[in-house]
Every structure is written in structure tokens, then in C-alpha cells.
């Protein structure tokens, strides 16, 4: 079958141009419609955001008025702030309760303490006590020099507990009624403040040659009163 194109070229070009124009108009309408929808969404979002911010401002103002109308609100807030700081204050204070445990671990069975004073701020202590001999007092001083400690949060390496261990005074209590108080002494030491840190779990290591109270089944009293020595010429 033979087909003949009876339309002139000009007519064909016109029809093709019409198709292209309709295509461009259709695409333009779609783009314009999408732009309008996007604009409406942005305007809606902006309006909703402003409304949300306005609602929040009103809520804040309302809650602020309610707080201001409460009696003693400033005192309540002060107490609340203080309560929140209790944990930090507790962790910063020294664990003074460890003191008696430490003394039992480091004090030889042959030594008794008459007075013990410490400065937690400076990390220093003064130990005054008695023993049955000056030899045991010297052993006590040597024991303190070699005591170490480790912590759970550390690297496992032992560190010395005491430094500047000084036997500042000593003497013999001639005529003392209690033979375990034949010698008296005063020792001053500096200690690593970590051993009283509330945030650390501390373990002391005492030299094995030292026979301390924690190693003796029936130790003598850790604390004893200052020995009484008869006055020359007094009543017997």
C-alpha cells in the first residue's frame, strides 16, 4: 500500500512546534505547581515554628510566675543547689574513718600510741607513744619508711605511704610501772593524701618482717595513757 504525504513542510513544522509548546507549558505548569506547594509548606512550617516558640515563651512565663508566687522559693532553690553539691563535697573530704584501720595495720605489737594528731590538709601526722625498748621504737620507724600502698584505679605500682619519717624525740621511762612503756617516743611523718581519698580503694602493704597488730592473734591495746613515773622522794 502506498501512502502519500500531502501536507506541506510548513504545516509539518507548525504541528511539531505546537507539540513542543504544549510540552514546555506542561513542564512549566508542573514546576510552578511544585514551587507553589513548596512555598506553602515553608510558610506553614515557619508559622508553626513561630507558634511553637510563642507557646514555649508563654509556658516559661507562666511557670516563672508560678515559681515567683511560691513562698520561700529562694530558700528552696538554695537548698536544692546545696543538695546537688553534697556528692562532690563527700568525695572531696578525707576518709578519716580509715585512720584506725591503718594504725592497726602499721603499728607493731610492741608499740602503743598515747596521742596521735594529723593534719589532713597538709598530709602530716605526729605519733607519740611508748614501747618496751628503744630498739623496737627504731624498728617502728623503719617499718613506717617501707610501707607502700596500691589503689584499684592505679596502674598496680606500689607507692610509699610515708615520707619524712623523723624520730623527733625519744627517752627511757626509768621506773615506769608498766614494762611495756619503758621507752617513749615522738615520730613526725608526712603521708600521701591518696590513702584518705574517698574515691579510691586503698590497700596497704607492710614489710613482712614487721609484726603488726593485724598479724598478732592477741595484740595489746593500741592506745595507752601516758606512763606514770614515780617522783623522786615521793610516797612508795
| C-alpha closest to that of 110 among 30, 212, 195, 206 | 212
β-pairing, 202-205 vs 162-172, is unpaired
| pTM, two decimal places | 0.56
Number of domains making up the chain: 2
> Does residue 90 belong to any structural domain of this protein?
no
Looking at the fold, whether 107 and 209 belong to one and the same domain comes out as yes
Are 113 and 181 within one domain? Answer: yes
Residue 217 pLDDT: 45
Record the cell numbers describing residue 39, joined without a space. Answer: 512555598
Residues 127 and 210 in one domain: yes
One domain, residues 171 and 193: yes
Q: How far apart are CA 17 and CA 38, in angstroms?
A: 31
227 within a domain of the structure (yes/no): no
Residue 191, CA distances (Å) to 63, 126, 164 in order: 53, 11, 8
Domain co-membership, 141 together with 48: no
Q: Is the pLDDT at 154 greater than 80, yes or no?
A: no
Statement: residue 206 has pLDDT above 80: yes
Q: Is the pLDDT of residue 149 over 80?
A: yes
Question: Residue 20 belongs to what domain range?
Answer: 10-84
Pair 209, 179 in one domain: yes
Q: Are residues 123 and 49 in the same domain?
A: no
- pLDDT tens digits, residue range 41-53? 888 888 888 888 8
- Please tell me which residue, 19 or 168, carries the higher pLDDT value: 168
Strand partners, 160: 148
Please tell me the predicted confidence (pLDDT) of residue 97.
Answer: 87
Span 74-103, average pLDDT = 73
Same domain, 78 and 100: no
- The answer to whether residue 230 sits within a structural domain is no
108 with 193, same domain: the answer is yes
- Residue 145 has a pLDDT of 92
**Which range has the worst mean pLDDT, 79-83, 97-101, 158-162?**
79-83
Amino acid at each position: 500500500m502506498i501512502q502519500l504525504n500531502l501536507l506541506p513542510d510548513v504545516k509539518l513544522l507548525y504541528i511539531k512546534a505546537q507539540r513542543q509548546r504544549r510540552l514546555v507549558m506542561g513542564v512549566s505548569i508542573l514546576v510552578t505547581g511544585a514551587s507553589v506547594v513548596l512555598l506553602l509548606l515553608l510558610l506553614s512550617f515557619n508559622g508553626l515554628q513561630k507558634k511553637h516558640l510563642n507557646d514555649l515563651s508563654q509556658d516559661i512565663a507562666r511557670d516563672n510566675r508560678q515559681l515567683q508566687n511560691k513562698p520561700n522559693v529562694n530558700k528552696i532553690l538554695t537548698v536544692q543547689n546545696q543538695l546537688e553539691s553534697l556528692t562532690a563535697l563527700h568525695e572531696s573530704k578525707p576518709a578519716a574513718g580509715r585512720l584506725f584501720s591503718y594504725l592497726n595495720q602499721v603499728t607493731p605489737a610492741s608499740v602503743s600510741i598515747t596521742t596521735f594528731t594529723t593534719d589532713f590538709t597538709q598530709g602530716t601526722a605526729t605519733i607519740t607513744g611508748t614501747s618496751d625498748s628503744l630498739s623496737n621504737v627504731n624498728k617502728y620507724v623503719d617499718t613506717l619508711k617501707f610501707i607502700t600502698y596500691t589503689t584499684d584505679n592505679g596502674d598496680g605500682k606500689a607507692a610509699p605511704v610515708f615520707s619524712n619519717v623523723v624520730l623527733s624525740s625519744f627517752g627511757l621511762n626509768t621506773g615506769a610501772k608498766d614494762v611495756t612503756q619503758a621507752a617513749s617516743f615522738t615520730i613526725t611523718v608526712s603521708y600521701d593524701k591518696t590513702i584518705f581519698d574517698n574515691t579510691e580503694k586503698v590497700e596497704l602493704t607492710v614489710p613482712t618482717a614487721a609484726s603488726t597488730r593485724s598479724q598478732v592473734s592477741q595484740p595489746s591495746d593500741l592506745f595507752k595513757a601516758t606512763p606514770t613515773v614515780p617522783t623522786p622522794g615521793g610516797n612508795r
